[in-house]
Structure 1
């Protein structure tokens, strides 16, 4: 009886090891960080936020002893900084911001901390204007009030690159604003903005809500994709926002870029393996909330470019390899 009591007290005191969430025949202990984990997502109304919240619900069922907190952020660069400095354990990132990772890790004194769990879906460039707007191309944005996304977001980086490809400087050739997607949608609706950039999965809630209340169009940017690929990398792809994604918006040719779920190397390998397993085994559930979740696939998920896979994620992929 005394031995049982001592063991129970020891487990309660440590509170870091659990066996729940494992599957036979292997059921090793999982080491949970004190206080749980934090998922850094993105702006309110964006797909990163929706994905993070859906994953949190999955983990509440799959790993019920793990405390999971979801935090909004200003986007990919902010998320990289949070991972590098230890303020986040999981985070989302667009591939076109991967080049920032080594410098942010060095600045935080934590080289090699940022690792990948999976390539999760492709994000689409969406340049949104009112349907009755005279604006028809990126070059028409000259002198207009344009939101290029929150500071520290992949939207800001992509907007700058696209405007440069169109022969414009985002600091001098437009009346530059830096709002989140939800704020941008609201300000376009009330006439404070002429256009806004957004890079996200389809459909994005904030844009869909705007389109259901105000007729909108998307500007085509396909003519600049080859220049983006030449200057910045082949992860930029020619894509189309399909008709019907947003109310009364026709097919619109654009650019797409992959997005990744990242993890801190500080997370225990066993835990990341189980996080990876939960992500894939519940992809249908996540996709019921976030349609972009439908494209998650183990064959493409390992393609995370310059961000190495977390050892725990590697263990998961090896475990499901045919």
Structure 2
């Protein structure tokens, strides 16, 4: 082979190597599907799901959702500990995450700019889909002597952080029972701190809004028998008449070792998402979660269904999520 031929051969090999490297780089955002097929390429490399405290329901479910999204879309997704609903809406608005767990009532307040969002309307966040009922659980010890809302007068009660979903639920339930924050000694604790406070005797009771069974309450019941203070049917109806995003609920006998079913009320849990995420990406995220609900091991997984994905949603739905639910339910 002459010198010119050798140069052409070397140049050709070099170009092939460059092409291969370029192909690998382009494919780095795509990955491969669980069936070995290529995944769609998206314009993001990483997604963050804002959840809540480690002893609530959002965090373990968020970890499962992150795995499902990573596996199905190829976009690395992680679940982050946060201050839950109200803080999550603000964090999404500020670009501190892309997806978040939030109560349906809090999402409504945020997008309307009311209550804790007065003057701070959230306009860059929309809904991805509904998840499951979040039960408002008023927790105390079985031997505390507290059996009703009226028994809370003068007691130290954890009501969650000011501006949180739990705080709003506590305030509204106290109101329906003829009480206010001034009738109790309110303590602003998260779920884990509430359980520790009840166990140590530092507080008497705690409002915990989360899907049951809630990790913090289970942990408390493992060392001290717990009691959930009931909401009577007439009080539940009065609450719903004034605040229609509530629904009647019940904590089944056997949960936390309870001997009988406890009547309660709930709001909805949902996923919110940044409005500026692409339609294709949000469609893929929604599909990854709702097509794989059988892989959700948490007890609340049985409530998460595509056919219920838009139930109770009171805010705008992302076009990508709407496209998925329209395809599945029509």
TM-score with structure 2 length normalisation?
Answer: 0.86
What are the residue-to-residue correspondences of 1:254-269 with 2, within 5 Å? 254-269=264-279
DSSP-derived class of the 1:87 partner: coil
What are the residue-to-residue correspondences of 1:86-97 with 2, within 5 Å? 86-97=95-106
- Equivalent in 273, 276, 285 of residue 275 of structure 1: 285
CA distance in 1, matches of 2:26, 2:163: 37
After superposition, the Cα gap between the structure-2 partners of 1:284 and 1:152, relative to the gap in structure 1 and judged at 3 Å, is: farther
DSSP-derived class of the 1:278 partner: helix
- Equivalent in 313, 317, 320 of residue 325 of structure 2: 317
Q: Whose radius of gyration is greater, 1 or 2?
A: 2
CA apart distance, 1:316? 1.3
After superposition, the Cα gap between the structure-2 partners of 1:80 and 1:166, relative to the gap in structure 1 and judged at 3 Å, is: same
CA apart distance, 1:69? 2.4
Structure 2 partner of 1:81: 90
What are the residue-to-residue correspondences of 1:116-155 with 2, within 5 Å? 116-155=127-166
Greater displacement, 310-319 / 238-247: 310-319
CA apart distance, 1:211? 1.0
- Equivalent in 235, 238, 257 of residue 224 of structure 1: 235
CA distance in 2, matches of 1:8, 1:180: 52
Structure 2 partner of 1:292: 300
CA apart distance, 1:125? 1.1
Q: Deviation per CA, 1:242-287: give whole Å up to 9, x if none.
A: 001112342101101111111111222111111111111221211x
- Equivalent in 58, 61, 70 of residue 51 of structure 1: 61
Structure 1 partner of 2:76: 67
CA apart distance, 1:31? 1.3
CA apart distance, 1:159? 0.3
What residue ranges of structure 2 are gaps of 5+ in the alignment? 1-12
Structure 2 partner of 1:33: 44
| Number of aligned residues | 313
* 2:108 and 2:315 in contact (8 A); partners too: no
CA distance in 2, matches of 1:199, 1:71: 19
Matched, 1:248 2:258: yes
What residue ranges of structure 1 are gaps of 5+ in the alignment? none
CA distance in 2, matches of 1:271, 1:105: 32
CA distance in 1, matches of 2:209, 2:217: 11
* 1:40 and 1:88 in contact (8 A); partners too: yes
* 2:34 and 2:71 in contact (8 A); partners too: no
Q: Deviation per CA, 1:152-173: give whole Å up to 9, x if none.
A: 4211110011111111221x11
Q: Deviation per CA, 1:28-80: give whole Å up to 9, x if none.
A: 8331424x1110001120001111011122233223x3121221111210111
CA distance in 2, matches of 1:225, 1:16: 53
TM-score with structure 1 length normalisation?
Answer: 0.88
Structure 1 partner of 2:206: 196
Q: Larger relative CO (CA 8 A, sep 6+): 1 or 2?
A: 1
Matched, 1:114 2:114: no
CA apart distance, 1:105? 11
Give the superposed CA RMSD: 2.6
